[in-house]
Chain A
Protein backbone atom coordinates (compact mmCIF):
# COMPACT_ATOMS: atom_id res chain seq x y z
CA UNK A 1 0.00 0.00 0.00
CA UNK A 2 2.55 2.57 -1.17
CA UNK A 3 0.76 5.24 -3.15
CA UNK A 4 3.54 7.65 -3.99
CA UNK A 5 6.84 7.90 -5.83
CA UNK A 6 10.07 8.08 -3.76
CA UNK A 7 10.48 11.78 -4.63
CA UNK A 8 7.16 12.48 -2.87
CA UNK A 9 8.46 10.93 0.37
CA UNK A 10 11.67 12.92 0.11
CA UNK A 11 9.57 16.08 -0.25
CA UNK A 12 7.58 15.21 2.91
CA UNK A 13 10.85 14.53 4.76
CA UNK A 14 12.21 17.93 3.66
CA UNK A 15 9.03 19.64 4.95
CA UNK A 16 9.38 17.77 8.26
CA UNK A 17 13.01 18.92 8.56
CA UNK A 18 11.94 22.51 7.86
CA UNK A 19 9.29 22.28 10.57
CA UNK A 20 11.89 20.84 12.97
CA UNK A 21 14.09 23.91 12.44
CA UNK A 22 11.11 26.21 13.13
CA UNK A 23 10.23 24.26 16.29
CA UNK A 24 13.77 24.77 17.62
CA UNK A 25 14.20 28.41 16.60
CA UNK A 26 10.66 29.58 17.53
CA UNK A 27 10.96 29.08 21.32
CA UNK A 28 14.26 31.03 21.31
CA UNK A 29 12.15 34.19 21.09
CA UNK A 30 11.13 33.49 24.69
CA UNK A 31 7.48 34.39 24.04
CA UNK A 32 5.11 31.83 25.60
CA UNK A 33 2.51 31.92 22.80
CA UNK A 34 5.17 31.60 20.10
CA UNK A 35 6.69 28.64 21.98
CA UNK A 36 3.31 26.92 22.24
CA UNK A 37 2.61 27.38 18.53
CA UNK A 38 6.08 26.59 17.18
CA UNK A 39 6.86 23.70 19.54
CA UNK A 40 3.55 21.98 20.20
CA UNK A 41 1.49 23.22 17.23
CA UNK A 42 4.20 22.15 14.84
CA UNK A 43 4.57 18.79 16.63
CA UNK A 44 0.92 18.11 15.81
CA UNK A 45 1.49 19.10 12.15
CA UNK A 46 4.58 16.87 11.96
CA UNK A 47 2.69 13.95 13.53
CA UNK A 48 -0.12 14.43 11.00
CA UNK A 49 2.33 14.43 8.08
CA UNK A 50 4.06 11.26 9.31
CA UNK A 51 0.77 9.44 10.01
CA UNK A 52 -0.84 10.44 6.70
CA UNK A 53 2.11 10.05 4.35
CA UNK A 54 4.58 7.61 5.90
CA UNK A 55 2.10 5.38 7.77
CA UNK A 56 -0.33 5.76 4.85
CA UNK A 57 -3.29 6.39 7.13
CA UNK A 58 -4.64 8.63 4.39
CA UNK A 59 -5.29 5.60 2.18
CA UNK A 60 -5.77 2.96 4.91
CA UNK A 61 -9.27 1.68 5.82
CA UNK A 62 -11.10 4.47 7.57
CA UNK A 63 -11.92 2.39 10.67
CA UNK A 64 -8.20 1.96 11.42
CA UNK A 65 -7.98 5.73 11.89
CA UNK A 66 -11.10 5.61 14.07
CA UNK A 67 -9.56 2.93 16.33
CA UNK A 68 -6.40 5.00 16.78
CA UNK A 69 -8.38 8.20 17.40
CA UNK A 70 -10.53 6.24 19.88
CA UNK A 71 -7.39 5.51 21.89
CA UNK A 72 -6.43 9.18 21.80
CA UNK A 73 -9.96 9.99 23.05
CA UNK A 74 -9.40 7.63 26.01
CA UNK A 75 -6.31 9.65 26.86
CA UNK A 76 -8.28 12.88 26.75
CA UNK A 77 -10.83 11.37 29.17
CA UNK A 78 -7.96 10.20 31.41
CA UNK A 79 -6.43 13.69 31.36
CA UNK A 80 -9.77 15.37 32.03
CA UNK A 81 -10.52 13.04 34.94
CA UNK A 82 -7.15 13.14 36.69
CA UNK A 83 -5.77 16.61 36.03
CA UNK A 84 -8.19 18.53 38.31
CA UNK A 85 -6.80 16.55 41.29
CA UNK A 86 -3.21 17.07 40.22
CA UNK A 87 -3.58 20.76 39.44
CA UNK A 88 -5.78 21.78 42.38
CA UNK A 89 -3.96 22.93 45.50
CA UNK A 90 -6.81 22.64 47.97
CA UNK A 91 -10.20 20.97 48.30
CA UNK A 92 -13.05 21.10 50.81
CA UNK A 93 -11.33 18.62 53.18
CA UNK A 94 -7.66 18.98 52.29
CA UNK A 95 -4.88 21.17 51.07
CA UNK A 96 -1.37 20.62 49.76
CA UNK A 97 1.33 21.60 52.22
CA UNK A 98 4.09 21.37 49.61
CA UNK A 99 5.54 24.78 48.78
CA UNK A 100 6.24 25.19 45.07
CA UNK A 101 9.76 26.61 44.56
CA UNK A 102 10.19 29.75 42.46
CA UNK A 103 11.13 29.43 38.79
CA UNK A 104 14.71 30.62 38.58
CA UNK A 105 16.13 28.97 35.45
CA UNK A 106 19.46 28.98 37.24
CA UNK A 107 21.73 26.01 37.65
CA UNK A 108 20.46 24.03 40.62
CA UNK A 109 21.75 20.97 42.31
CA UNK A 110 19.19 18.15 42.22
CA UNK A 111 17.11 17.80 45.36
CA UNK A 112 14.67 15.24 46.62
CA UNK A 113 10.99 16.11 46.30
CA UNK A 114 8.50 17.05 43.58
Chain B
Protein backbone atom coordinates (compact mmCIF):
# COMPACT_ATOMS: atom_id res chain seq x y z
CA UNK B 1 0.00 0.00 0.00
CA UNK B 2 1.37 3.42 -1.00
CA UNK B 3 1.25 6.39 1.33
CA UNK B 4 -1.38 8.88 0.04
CA UNK B 5 0.17 12.10 -1.30
CA UNK B 6 -1.44 14.35 1.32
CA UNK B 7 -0.23 12.23 4.20
CA UNK B 8 3.23 11.96 2.68
CA UNK B 9 3.36 15.77 2.50
CA UNK B 10 2.46 15.98 6.19
CA UNK B 11 5.25 13.56 7.09
CA UNK B 12 7.76 15.70 5.17
CA UNK B 13 6.51 18.84 6.92
CA UNK B 14 6.96 17.10 10.26
CA UNK B 15 10.45 15.94 9.28
CA UNK B 16 11.41 19.59 8.77
CA UNK B 17 9.65 20.56 11.99
CA UNK B 18 11.80 18.05 13.88
CA UNK B 19 14.87 19.97 12.73
CA UNK B 20 13.34 23.35 13.67
CA UNK B 21 12.24 22.35 17.17
CA UNK B 22 15.15 19.92 17.60
CA UNK B 23 17.67 22.67 16.86
CA UNK B 24 16.02 25.07 19.27
CA UNK B 25 15.63 22.54 22.07
CA UNK B 26 19.12 21.10 21.48
CA UNK B 27 20.59 24.60 21.83
CA UNK B 28 18.52 25.17 24.98
CA UNK B 29 19.65 21.88 26.55
CA UNK B 30 23.35 22.51 25.94
CA UNK B 31 23.14 26.05 27.34
CA UNK B 32 21.08 24.86 30.30
CA UNK B 33 23.72 22.24 31.15
CA UNK B 34 26.45 24.87 30.72
CA UNK B 35 24.72 27.43 32.94
CA UNK B 36 23.41 25.78 36.12
CA UNK B 37 22.41 29.24 37.41
CA UNK B 38 19.52 29.25 34.92
CA UNK B 39 17.77 27.27 37.65
CA UNK B 40 17.40 30.62 39.45
CA UNK B 41 15.16 31.74 36.58
CA UNK B 42 13.45 28.42 35.84
CA UNK B 43 12.11 28.36 39.39
CA UNK B 44 9.67 31.13 38.35
CA UNK B 45 7.85 29.15 35.63
CA UNK B 46 4.47 27.82 36.74
CA UNK B 47 4.59 23.99 36.83
CA UNK B 48 0.85 23.66 37.45
CA UNK B 49 -0.07 25.85 34.47
CA UNK B 50 2.35 23.83 32.30
CA UNK B 51 0.93 20.57 33.67
CA UNK B 52 -2.65 21.67 33.04
CA UNK B 53 -1.74 22.66 29.48
CA UNK B 54 -0.12 19.24 28.97
CA UNK B 55 -3.38 17.61 30.07
CA UNK B 56 -5.32 19.87 27.67
CA UNK B 57 -3.09 18.98 24.72
CA UNK B 58 -3.16 15.24 25.51
CA UNK B 59 -6.97 15.42 25.66
CA UNK B 60 -7.13 17.35 22.39
CA UNK B 61 -4.95 14.66 20.82
CA UNK B 62 -7.54 12.11 21.95
CA UNK B 63 -10.36 14.03 20.28
CA UNK B 64 -8.21 14.41 17.13
CA UNK B 65 -7.60 10.66 16.88
CA UNK B 66 -11.31 9.98 17.55
CA UNK B 67 -12.14 12.43 14.73
CA UNK B 68 -9.84 10.41 12.48
CA UNK B 69 -11.62 7.21 13.54
CA UNK B 70 -15.01 8.76 12.76
CA UNK B 71 -13.78 9.95 9.35
CA UNK B 72 -12.48 6.48 8.54
CA UNK B 73 -15.95 5.15 9.20
CA UNK B 74 -17.51 7.74 6.91
CA UNK B 75 -19.08 9.82 9.68
CA UNK B 76 -18.02 13.30 8.53
CA UNK B 77 -20.32 15.32 10.83
CA UNK B 78 -19.00 13.48 13.90
CA UNK B 79 -15.41 13.97 12.72
CA UNK B 80 -16.12 17.71 12.26
CA UNK B 81 -17.60 17.93 15.77
CA UNK B 82 -14.54 16.22 17.27
CA UNK B 83 -12.17 18.47 15.31
CA UNK B 84 -13.96 21.53 16.71
CA UNK B 85 -13.60 20.08 20.21
CA UNK B 86 -9.89 19.67 19.46
CA UNK B 87 -9.78 23.35 18.47
CA UNK B 88 -11.41 24.22 21.77
CA UNK B 89 -8.52 22.41 23.47
CA UNK B 90 -6.08 24.51 21.47
CA UNK B 91 -7.92 27.66 22.48
CA UNK B 92 -7.84 26.65 26.16
CA UNK B 93 -4.11 26.03 25.85
CA UNK B 94 -3.56 29.52 24.40
CA UNK B 95 -5.72 31.24 27.03
CA UNK B 96 -3.75 29.56 29.87
CA UNK B 97 -0.52 30.55 28.13
CA UNK B 98 -1.70 34.16 27.79
CA UNK B 99 -2.44 34.39 31.54
CA UNK B 100 0.88 32.73 32.32
CA UNK B 101 2.90 35.10 30.11
CA UNK B 102 1.02 38.17 31.38
CA UNK B 103 1.92 37.25 34.95
CA UNK B 104 5.57 36.57 34.08
CA UNK B 105 5.93 39.81 32.12
CA UNK B 106 4.33 41.73 35.01
CA UNK B 107 7.04 40.29 37.27
CA UNK B 108 9.65 41.61 34.85
CA UNK B 109 10.60 38.35 33.14
CA UNK B 110 10.55 39.37 29.49
CA UNK B 111 12.20 37.94 26.36
CA UNK B 112 15.17 40.30 26.85
CA UNK B 113 15.64 39.67 30.61
CA UNK B 114 18.28 36.98 30.05
CA UNK B 115 19.03 33.97 27.88
CA UNK B 116 16.79 31.58 29.83
CA UNK B 117 13.74 33.76 29.27
CA UNK B 118 14.76 34.32 25.63
CA UNK B 119 14.67 30.56 25.08
CA UNK B 120 11.49 30.24 27.13
CA UNK B 121 9.49 32.77 25.10
CA UNK B 122 10.99 31.70 21.76
CA UNK B 123 10.33 27.97 22.25
CA UNK B 124 6.88 28.38 23.82
CA UNK B 125 6.00 31.13 21.31
CA UNK B 126 7.03 29.06 18.31
CA UNK B 127 5.00 26.17 19.70
CA UNK B 128 1.98 28.45 20.28
CA UNK B 129 2.25 29.64 16.65
CA UNK B 130 2.01 26.00 15.57
CA UNK B 131 -1.06 25.55 17.79
CA UNK B 132 -2.72 28.56 16.12
CA UNK B 133 -1.83 27.28 12.63
CA UNK B 134 -3.21 23.84 13.51
CA UNK B 135 -6.47 25.35 14.79
CA UNK B 136 -7.01 27.40 11.63
CA UNK B 137 -6.38 24.40 9.36
CA UNK B 138 -8.55 22.19 11.56
CA UNK B 139 -11.51 24.56 11.29
CA UNK B 140 -11.16 24.57 7.50
CA UNK B 141 -10.96 20.75 7.43
CA UNK B 142 -13.95 20.48 9.83
CA UNK B 143 -16.04 22.61 7.47
CA UNK B 144 -15.61 20.22 4.54
CA UNK B 145 -15.72 17.12 6.74
CA UNK B 146 -19.15 18.18 8.06
CA UNK B 147 -20.40 17.78 4.47
CA UNK B 148 -18.71 14.37 4.22
CA UNK B 149 -16.14 15.77 1.78
CA UNK B 150 -12.35 15.31 1.75
CA UNK B 151 -12.45 13.10 4.83
CA UNK B 152 -8.84 11.99 4.29
CA UNK B 153 -7.79 15.48 5.43
CA UNK B 154 -8.99 14.67 8.96
CA UNK B 155 -6.17 12.18 9.37
CA UNK B 156 -3.59 14.60 7.94
CA UNK B 157 -4.41 17.46 10.30
CA UNK B 158 -4.62 14.91 13.14
CA UNK B 159 -1.04 13.77 12.50
CA UNK B 160 0.12 17.40 12.58
CA UNK B 161 -1.78 18.04 15.82
CA UNK B 162 -0.26 14.99 17.52
CA UNK B 163 3.17 16.32 16.57
CA UNK B 164 2.34 19.67 18.20
CA UNK B 165 1.34 17.68 21.31
CA UNK B 166 4.56 15.67 21.08
CA UNK B 167 6.72 18.82 21.01
CA UNK B 168 4.96 20.10 24.13
CA UNK B 169 5.62 16.75 25.86
CA UNK B 170 9.34 17.68 25.67
CA UNK B 171 8.93 21.41 26.29
CA UNK B 172 7.04 20.79 29.53
CA UNK B 173 9.84 19.04 31.48
CA UNK B 174 12.52 21.28 29.93
CA UNK B 175 10.88 24.60 30.79
CA UNK B 176 8.65 23.79 33.76
CA UNK B 177 9.98 20.78 35.64
CA UNK B 178 13.77 21.12 35.46
CA UNK B 179 14.16 23.68 38.23
- Chain A residues near B (Cβ < 8 Å): 1-2, 4, 6, 9-10, 13, 16-17, 20, 23-24, 27, 35, 39-40, 43, 46-47, 50-51, 53-56, 60-61, 64, 67-68, 70-72, 74-75, 78-79, 82-83, 86-87, 100-114
CB of B137 closer than 8 Å to a CB of A = no
What does DSSP make chain B's interface, helix, strand, loop or mixed?
helix
Stretch in contact with the other chain, from B16-24, B91-99, B121-129: B16-24
Tell whether, in the assembled complex, residue A64 and residue B69 are in contact, meaning their CB atoms are under 8 Å apart: no
Q: How big is the B interface, by class?
A: 35 or more
Residue on B with the closest CB to A110?
Answer: B113
Tell whether, in the assembled complex, residue B166 and residue A51 are in contact, meaning their CB atoms are under 8 Å apart: yes
24 contacts across the A-B interface (CB closer than 8 A): A4-B69, A9-B66, A13-B59, A13-B62, A17-B58, A20-B51, A27-B179, A35-B177, A39-B177, A39-B178, A43-B172, A43-B173, A50-B162, A50-B169, A68-B14, A71-B19, A78-B23, A79-B29, A87-B30, A103-B39, A104-B40, A105-B39, A105-B43, A110-B41
Tell whether, in the assembled complex, residue A82 and residue B30 are in contact, meaning their CB atoms are under 8 Å apart: yes
- Chain B residues near A (Cβ < 8 Å): 1, 3, 11-12, 14-16, 18-19, 22-23, 26-27, 29-31, 33-37, 39-41, 43-44, 47, 51, 54-55, 58-59, 61-62, 64-66, 68-69, 72, 108-110, 112-115, 117, 155, 158-159, 162-163, 165-166, 169-170, 172-173, 177-179
